[in-house]
Structure formats: structure tokens, C-alpha cells
Structure 1
């Protein structure tokens, strides 16, 4: 294993709210400028909950395809929830070598956003044949949402802002999205033409909190090239998304990353996305001039700093490329 390069930060001071928060904020500032990625420990998320989530997820993915397709995404309509099979998601137009289940905030049919047919809002789809799956996923999402609020307070402080800056403007009622991905071993892999579990990409929102199993395979694009972000027991991997790059004028970079299952077994990962409210307009923070708007440096040759509008508009424009069939359902 290569020497660890992505920073490791103990965030217990953010969780407890003690006087050491500024030290953590300084470490976050450095990590976000240099890598856009950092590991966290001291997060307080229950280990038994994480273990239960992993066990139930493995149980789900070992089922045959027909059983898994009983909660396929098409059944959720505009809510954009449920299962997709291997190759069902695209990155840069290429099918990913992974399968997964999509979740979001659980909303009842009579919720105003659901009644208004707001895309990406609604009820989740859960397997009916796996006891405690629903309860475990929702409990984990609640824990991640709480952790997201703590981390956003730290990111606010890292920018010299009030701890509540993002909560006051964007994340009091965040758009929270959760994925459980299974990357099967690539039995047809070759050195000449590597096949990626998920190809080079950036995340769309503000903050991603990733739980990964012990298989490895996550890579982060740094100034010196691609570096490994191997699993560290008891930690999560955090990275910032396009909207935080936009808000900070390029001070904090939305860093490209990719995954290749390098093991001979199934690889599980659990990314949780803590993003701005769907209907909130995202605006730059007055921190100074934009530091870097070079389109050629981004994997998609796009310029996130050109965007103006609500987060919902931005995320849908990205999602339609990943799941082209969703565009037909939503529009």
C-alpha cells in the first residue's frame, strides 16, 4: 500500500463543540485547498450501525437480479430512488462497472414537495424480504445528516465565517442523497484497457461523506497525479463538490476521483451527499477573486463558476447525463 497522502483529521471537537474547533477548521482549510479530500475520525457514528448496514447490503446484493429489480428505479418515478443493475449508470457516457441503490430523504405522499411532483423527492424503495433494511438505512441517513451539519460548521469556520453560515443560507433543510454501491470484481480486466467501477468525475453539491469497505480502489486526482485513498478503519472519507468550489471562487476545489475494484471480491461503498436545499439559489461567497476558472483542468471541460441558479437546476442537469432515462420521466 502506498503511503497515505490524503489528510486525516480528528473532528471530535466539531461534534462536541469545544474550543478546539478552530484547530480542526484550520486543518480542513488546508485539506480542502490542497486535496479537496480528507479522512475524518472522532465522528461519533455508531460502529454497530455501520456494521449492520454493511451486512444487510451484502445480503441484498447476493440476491438474483430478478429479486433486486423488484425495487428498480423506474418504480419510483420522479423520486429517483431504487435499484439499478451493473452498467445502468453512466459516467462521461460510459457504463460504470457497479450496481446500486439510491435513497433520499423519506417523504410521505402528502408532503408538499411530493404533491408538487418535485423531482428527487418522495418515498424510498426498500427490499421487503430483508428485515431491518429500511430501519437501518434511515437510521444511518439520520446519523450522516447530523454529521453533515457538524462538518459544515467546520467548513464555515475554515473560511473565516460564522459557524452557521451554510446552515443559515443553504443547509438548514439540506438535500440529502444516499447511495449503496456494489462493485463486482472485474474478471475481464486488462492492463491495456482498464474498466472503471466509476470513471473520473466530481460530485455535484457541497459535501460527500463516504464509508468504504476494506477492499480499496478509490483514487483521487492530485497535482502530482492520481493517488490512492485506501480504507482506514473507523474513518470516513470526505470530499467537497462543485457547489462549494463555486461558492469559494475556486479556493476549495471539487476534486476529480474514480474507483476501480482492485480486489477479487465484491466491493461495497456508501456515499452520502449533504447538499444545498433543492430550491435555493447558490451564490459565490465574497472571499476575493476566483482563483482558477480554467476549463481545461476539469474532467468534463465545464466551468462550474459560470453557473447561476438553484441547486435543483444544477443537480438535475448532471443527473440527466448519468441516467438519461430519468429525463424522460421528469420532463
Structure 2
């Protein structure tokens, strides 16, 4: 059993790998993974009807990125950001072959023997490496998933020593994938800026400019679960950073987005990126664009892997509503705070819907009253 546990590395209690739990728990999951009844996946959650690629009905918008300089594309991105906080980007320019190679390489890592994976066990200091929990609160409910977290930008904090060397394709695929996704993030950032009536480079500038912005990758692995109705792969939350580019398994659904009080199961379009607004863009846009709660369900029949690429402001740059979007009729809704300061709250308390961002808004209201 020792290979199933990470007993140190600064965590408040021994860390159990969900992969190991899945292999040994039989038909009943441990109590630590059972969510409170009001947080469990609902058996009455609306499920879209069948379509040509699996599902139709309620779904997040799909935006064709083949003409990123066009006004039509900017308007489509703006509408998705204002109304949903999510969209699927198709014809985005990242080669399908590279998407498959990145997914395959990381799936290969999670299929390595436990002793190989444990060489890269992470700690709550930076979260970089192989992990199984997102918060540091002792005794809380746990999510049904393991992950691997890497810092990519700024380049001064990227360390290939933290990258797995097995399988042999992983490092090269991840490097190439990251470079292409950063370019895509910059393109989407420009479209979002234009949708706010600003210069195309304005959000990018607020993030720290080219080479100054932050980026990191979290590869999520959700093993099979014998009681998927009792737990979640990731609890409901909004992303704390700027924007997220999510690459999911085309054939295994799991992402759910909260819309008008209901959970909508996303139907992934093959080779698309699922793009969503993070808390930092909600702050910068003074809530014109809103980060949206989402969560991940798990499956009794199939494991699932996803690559979440987080594109963030530079960690030490103060982030507040952009002055161009503040006026007598639209006062600033949030105080300035660096991304480093903001994510300290996330790491201490774990995921908690949109409570973290709402607490900032409450703080601003109290300070101005």
C-alpha cells in the first residue's frame, strides 16, 4: 500500500491517489469522496438529446476561429463571454495531430507504475507535479481525480526537471502543445478586448504583455468510479485565473456548466477547445464578462483525461477593473489585488463555487459605503 500514499510533502494528512482507490475500493467509495447531498450530481440534470456527434439541445456556443480578425468572430466571442462565460473554439489552428499526441502522452504517464508517478509527487508550496487534492483544509471532502500541474510562463519559473520523462514522447509533445496554445490564448484575448470596445491588445497588456503573462497546465485524470452519483471529479467552482483552454476526451462527457440555475452537460465537439472566462477577466472587465461555475462528473464505465491550460495575469501585477470600463454608471465592482494574493485564498480554502470572487465584491461594497 505504500505506493498508494504520499505521506509528506507538506500536506496536512497523507495523500491517497484516486487511481489506487479506484483499483481497490470495490463497489463502495470511501466516505471522504462522498459529497453532501446538495452537491451531488443530480439524476434529474437535463441531458441533451442525441445528435450527429453525440448530443444536441442545450449546449455552450461554438465559435469558428478560422477568421480571427473578422468582426463577426469578435461579436461571436463577445456574445459567448457575456451570456455563457464559455464557448467551444473550432478551426483554431492547433493541429489535431498535436492534440491527440498531447492527450496520448499524458494518458501514458497515468498508466505508469505507481512508483514512477510518485517520483513527481507535489506539495502545496507550488502544486507543481503529481497531485490528488486542490485545497489544504484538513478532513474535508475530496474530489475523485488525480492531476499533474506544471508552470509554463513566465519562462523564469518553468523547470523541465518537474516534467515527467516517461513516456518518452511527453516532454516534446507538451512543449509544442504549450507554445501553440499560448498563441491561441493571445488571439482569443484580442477578440475579448475588441468585444469590450477596447483596443485588441488591452487585455493582453493588463496580463503583463507578451512574455510577462502567466501560463500553467493541469492534466486531470478521472479514474472509473463505482458510485458516480455520490461524488465529483472536480467540485463546483469558477476558475481563479484569466482564461482556460480545456482539451477534453471527445468520447467521454463530464464537464457541466451552470446556466440559469441548472447544470448543462457539455457535448464536446471533436478537436475543439472549450474556452472559459476566469475570475481575473471578470474583474478586469468589471463583470461585463463573467466567470461561470462548472464541475466535472465521473463515470462508472470509463476513465477520463483532460488538459486544462490556464492563461493568467502576471502573478505580481495588481488586477482591478480596467479604467476604460469604469464610470459614474458603472463603478468599479472589485478592489485591486494581485493574482498571487487571490490564489492564496483558493489554495487555503479549496474550491467553493464563486464564493471567493463574491467575497471581493462584498469587500469593495463595504469599503465604499
State the TM-score, normalizing by the size of structure 1.
Answer: 0.80
What's the counterpart of residue 5 of structure 2? Answer: none
What's the counterpart of residue 14 of structure 2? Answer: none
Q: Does 1:97 align with 2:144?
A: yes
1:78-137: CA deviation from partner (whole Å, max 9, x where unpaired): 44311014xx334994311000100111778xx4xx5xxxxxx65551223321211111
- Which of 27, 30, 42 is the equivalent residue of 2:91? 42
Distance 1:189 1:235, change over 3 A: closer
Q: Does 1:202 align with 2:238?
A: yes
Q: Does 1:133 align with 2:178?
A: no
What's the counterpart of residue 12 of structure 1? Answer: 66
Shift of 1:168: 2.3
Shift of 1:197: 0.4
Q: Does 1:163 align with 2:200?
A: yes
Distance 1:170 1:46, change over 3 A: same
Q: What SS is found at the alignment partner of 1:136?
A: helix
- Which of 56, 62, 76 is the equivalent residue of 2:111? 62
Counterpart-to-counterpart distance in 1, 2:161 and 2:96? 24
Counterpart-to-counterpart distance in 2, 1:79 and 1:270? 19
Q: What SS is found at the alignment partner of 1:271?
A: strand
Contact 2:64 2:90 in 1 (8 A): yes
What's the counterpart of residue 310 of structure 1? Answer: 338
> Which region of structure 1 is more displaced relative to structure 2, 22-31 or 314-323?
314-323
Q: Does 1:53 align with 2:102?
A: yes
Counterpart-to-counterpart distance in 1, 2:154 and 2:213? 13
Counterpart-to-counterpart distance in 2, 1:317 and 1:290? 31
Contact 1:106 1:123 in 2 (8 A): no
Q: Does 1:237 align with 2:268?
A: no
Q: What SS is found at the alignment partner of 1:49?
A: helix
Unaligned runs of 5+ in 1: 115-120, 294-303, 324-331
Distance 1:263 1:38, change over 3 A: farther
Q: What SS is found at the alignment partner of 1:176?
A: strand
Distance 1:124 1:180, change over 3 A: farther
Shift of 1:223: 1.1
Counterpart-to-counterpart distance in 2, 1:208 and 1:129? 26
Counterpart-to-counterpart distance in 2, 1:98 and 1:128? 22
* Structure showing greater Rg: 2
Shift of 1:169: 2.7
Distance 1:35 1:73, change over 3 A: same
Contact 1:249 1:290 in 2 (8 A): no
Counterpart-to-counterpart distance in 2, 1:67 and 1:84? 13
Contact 1:250 1:291 in 2 (8 A): no
Unaligned runs of 5+ in 2: 1-46, 49-56, 352-369
Contact 1:91 1:199 in 2 (8 A): no
Counterpart-to-counterpart distance in 2, 1:91 and 1:8? 36
Q: Does 1:219 align with 2:256?
A: yes
Equivalenced residue count is 291
Q: What SS is found at the alignment partner of 2:118?
A: helix
Task: Tell me the C-alpha RMSD between the 2 structures.
Answer: 2.6
Counterpart-to-counterpart distance in 2, 1:185 and 1:95? 15
